[in-house]
Chain A
């Protein structure tokens, strides 16, 4: 197990290094490079040259990369001239809120997707399965922003039960105003449930066809017992991997939800930066989101290995 943990961690570090190179490369594909992006399209050549010299952008690329990486490791992710604030400080304000949204949204989605997928798998091709499959398939094929606006239309505009916008303030303040969190969380988790329950269903169907299920049935166990004692654990361990793999996708969904509900998180920050071409902020967000995803999938893989010894052995030999 130690060997597996080590291997997987080294691999994650390598990926992190490449993520940093990708972000650094993005900084240099900007039209006119970082100076043009910060000083704007009307800056003179002389101003750009002065800026490049002052900020070390005239150094050879590898040296620039090392400098940039060192700064990033010390928490210096650049400065947003548009907002007149350090990128790191903007991230410190928004990341906790996004973590709240993504964490709670994913938790709700997992808690609901597991029973839905199990019921679908056990009652495969029965009316219940058809109804649930139709609902999840439609949700899965729906643009997330449209779903969010539909929910706003129903629950905020027509019924007036819930506020149409997310609460402001830090995560704790947000939690003290739970009504405002309901619609953003509902939107994010509905989309996620749609994708997760399909996997749980497939995984359950696969497990139900295994020999051990037939043996358990032959011993006289009823379907309910078989599912509770045998199928559940085996069908659920892939969900842990799925969580890790879906993280980029969930974060993308969170950006859309944040845009729909004016939720002041990292996705919202990124969206505003994209509209105002505030590149230092965009690069900082991409870097942090990339790091978060790599660490998330590392945790998911380690968790999966803990749950399933077969995977552990297989992974440490390949």
Chain B
């Protein structure tokens, strides 16, 4: 571990809110991925004799319209929400980083054209594009990850391009050519590694955004199809019974989303402050 990473780690650790966020995230991950091993529930077969049971012994958060245990369903739903969020953010960041570093390193006309394309796609609201794609293909989990990734690479592309523009004129990058290295080497070995902190911070926020977008898609009826459960799916399923007083179908899933997104945003803010000490918030 080099000094910079250690300093950043120390700055992060001294940020109380960021640490709370991180601990919360770990707890949520444990709840979603280890929870089902301890709290075994039937989530595939329905039991129509046990529908809409209020919270009580046996079902701490009640049961849903098909008699499935809500607590167990939240664990499974969290798995999908987290997996989709993280995978989409990783893919989007990779595409964006490559695109942005190529544009920024090339500069000139190539850069202009590439960035105008970004401007154009970014002016079509993400939600409209994702709904378009979700209407095109069957909304499997894989397709949704791709749809979210294909609409969220634009911001990291812009960020990296901005940094690449500055970096390419710095001696240690411009010297690569002098020493006989190609553009590929300059981009992959020198430009990209120097944009990592920007990318990590952005990717964190993208996980949060992706979780919200997937939840919204479920609400709009174009999210992951059952039996796959996501928090948004549990929530929008419960919303059909909003006026029937089955609050346990609505509040736990909504609160799970909010707590997770708040925790991720806190970690993102903490990372940003730790990695760029001068940023004022």
Chain A residues in the interface with B (C-beta under 8 A): 11, 14-16, 18-19, 21-22, 26, 29-31, 137-138, 140-146, 149-150, 153, 157, 201-202, 205-206, 209, 247-249, 251-252, 255-256, 259, 270-271, 273-275, 277, 282, 285-286, 289-290, 293-294, 297
**B124 at interface, CB cutoff 8 A:** yes
User: Assuming the A-B contacts A141-B208, A153-B242, are A256 and B262 also in contact, with contact meaning beta carbons closer than 8 angstroms in the complex?
Assistant: no
Measured CB to CB, the nearest residue on chain A to B259 is A141
From 266 to 281 in chain B, residues with beta carbon under 8 angstroms from any chain A beta carbon are 280-281
- Chain B 105-134 interface mask (CB, 8 Å, partner A; 1/0): 000000000001101111111111101101
Instruction: Give 16 CB contacts A-B under 8 Å.
Output: A15-B119, A137-B265, A138-B258, A141-B258, A141-B262, A142-B254, A146-B254, A149-B250, A157-B243, A205-B280, A255-B128, A259-B219, A274-B222, A282-B132, A285-B128, A294-B120
Cα separation A15 to B118 with both chains bound (whole Å): 9
**B61 at interface, CB cutoff 8 A:** no
Least CB distance from A42 to B in Å reads 18
Least CB distance from B174 to A in Å reads 20
How many B residues are at the interface, by size bracket? 35 or more
B interface majority secondary structure: helix
Cα separation A144 to B208 with both chains bound (whole Å): 14
Question: A277 to B135, Cβ gap below 8 A?
Answer: yes
Of B134, B242, B254, the residue contacting A143 (CB under 8 A) is B254
Least CB distance from B15 to A in Å reads 13
**B257 at interface, CB cutoff 8 A:** yes
B126, B128, B129 interface centre (most CB from chain A within 10 Å): B128
Cα separation A22 to B129 with both chains bound (whole Å): 11
Of A26, A140, A248, A297, the residue contacting B132 (CB under 8 A) is A26
* B232: chain A residues within 8 A (beta carbon): 143
Question: A18 to B208, Cβ gap below 8 A?
Answer: no
Question: A274 to B134, Cβ gap below 8 A?
Answer: yes
* B116: chain A residues within 8 A (beta carbon): 11, 14-15, 18
Question: B123 to A15, Cβ gap below 8 A?
Answer: yes
Question: B131 to A270, Cβ gap below 8 A?
Answer: yes
**B34 at interface, CB cutoff 8 A:** no
User: Assuming the A-B contacts A202-B281, A274-B222, are A286 and B239 also in contact, with contact meaning beta carbons closer than 8 angstroms in the complex?
Assistant: no
User: Assuming the A-B contacts A138-B258, A141-B261, A142-B258, are A29 and B125 also in contact, with contact meaning beta carbons closer than 8 angstroms in the complex?
Assistant: no
Of B119, B127, B222, the residue contacting A18 (CB under 8 A) is B119
**B179 at interface, CB cutoff 8 A:** no
- Chain B 218-233 interface mask (CB, 8 Å, partner A; 1/0): 0111100000000010
Cα separation A121 to B159 with both chains bound (whole Å): 26
* B262: chain A residues within 8 A (beta carbon): 137-138, 141
Question: B265 to A248, Cβ gap below 8 A?
Answer: no
Question: B281 to A289, Cβ gap below 8 A?
Answer: no
**B173 at interface, CB cutoff 8 A:** no
User: Assuming the A-B contacts A141-B262, A255-B127, are A275 and B221 also in contact, with contact meaning beta carbons closer than 8 angstroms in the complex?
Assistant: yes
